[in-house]
Chains A and B, each alone.
Chain A
């Protein structure tokens, strides 16, 4: 059985800056990282590999420099790392992205090994739409389990999986036959660090690159043309700087009074 992990290279949003003049994202010099949720998906796949001997393939759609992300996956021990990269894939929204990822998974299934599980992050930290995993599941007709925080049991003989889903204030335990697509949250596990021998081997191993000559998808369904969602502008939210209430250092008592009055006037004290 093959486990496919989808990983996206994202800008480190903690370092994203806004150009004060154009009010757009400054992209230069921002380091790229593996989408944090995807590192947990990868870790879980590797744990299942350690335990059951499954094979693991990592997939990423992105520009050529996303190869770095896949190298990291190789260093952690995945069997195959495939970069889906082609100019015609560019400008994709979530629908077009899921189309390409689903096609690559289908190809792996047909030509390499039967796919039992697809693991995705619960969302990315740049686009944050949470749509790609479910999009893949519905295209492949796989069962969909979102927000997974624990794999309770994977029965490889009976081919079913039981997981815990993290919901508001509770966990839901559900079971479904394979193949299934899971989106995962950070509580799932603690990702490992690469071991030296694997890191050395990874430096040698190559990331495979599949373009659209390999996937042969209709250009109407991929890239900009296959994208029904238009992102028209990106900007930073505006908010006026907070008002300073009194002088809490010289006159703390007066300042408490002012704050209480303010909270009362906003109807915030009897919640």
Chain B
């Protein structure tokens, strides 16, 4: 079995998540080749063929051109699977490639299943097994679902280029509004739920987040009450996050909240109710009053 992995490079850097593609291929037991629109000063540490296009010429994102580079590599490698990360890059590019190759696509794969792939559905509440029936398939993998694999070594680089007239003109980036926090990138999130009681108590939770080097999250009622900015909200109407550590303080665990955080690697719930539904997804539950427990915890860190 063979995979063509589509590496990711952004703002002059090879993204670490590229190694998650190798983790996926490793689990499949597949041979790999990679295509990267990046730079030869930022090569991934792995063996195998690397089709490398120069981002300074091809643009970090130029969909028609990148699609052509991928199609050219598919022609050479004849892979069973073309694998992207389910990032904004893969989101946009993968279906273009699938449509051009006229093959099935499976989006946001979280695991392997007998004869197919496991993916989330119904707002991540359910899972399903999906099987592509075309000889090739395009896959996107969910961020964080496959442990990164960094085999080391040097790829054998083949420089590639393509000339395609682009129909989309890139005119620039705008930074996200300054007040936006990008919780999706945070490794630690400490969330304040309604259980914190009032706005004046939010700094207690924020202090724990700071002590752990993380970001402050919030449940929806906390945002609706104006205690915390909306950009911190976790859940179906906020952000979907999957940090390494998620600490929910005084959050009951409503399904809309769980949908936004249950893929976190390790979940700690602090709640005075030992039967709060958050316990269903938490790895550990501390039954305590947040206003007593959290400051005590912060003080010990």
Residues of A within 8 A of B (CB): 11, 13-14, 16, 18, 25, 93-95, 125-131, 134-135, 138-139, 143-147, 162, 164-177, 186, 228-237, 239, 241-249, 252-253, 255-257, 259-260, 262-263, 266, 268-269, 271
Contact = CB atoms under 8 A, between A and B. Distances in A.
B91 A271 contact: no
A146 B91 contact: yes
B182 A169 contact: yes
B168 A229 contact: no
B100 interface: yes
Contacts, number: 226
Interface string B118-150: 001111111111111110000000000000000
Nearest to B274: A244
Interface residues on B, range: 35 or more
8 contacts: A130-B91, A134-B99, A229-B131, A232-B128, A234-B127, A252-B293, A263-B266, A269-B212
A170 B270 contact: no
A174 B121 contact: no
A70 to B, nearest CB: 23
Interface of B: 10, 61, 63, 87-88, 91-92, 95-96, 98-100, 103-108, 115-116, 120-134, 167-176, 180, 182, 184-185, 187-188, 212-214, 236-237, 244-245, 255-256, 266-270, 272, 274, 279-289, 292-293, 296-297, 300-301
A242 B168 contact: no
- B121, B256, B292 — which one has the most chain A CB atoms within 10 A of its CB? B121
Contact of A14 (B63, B106, B256): B256
Q: Chain A interface mostly helix, strand, loop or mixed?
A: mixed
Contacts of A247: 287
Given A126-B121, A130-B107, 17 more contacts: A14-B255, A18-B126, A93-B104, A127-B121, A128-B107, A128-B108, A131-B98, A167-B88, A168-B182, A168-B184, A172-B172, A174-B169, A231-B130, A244-B285, A248-B292, A260-B297, A263-B268
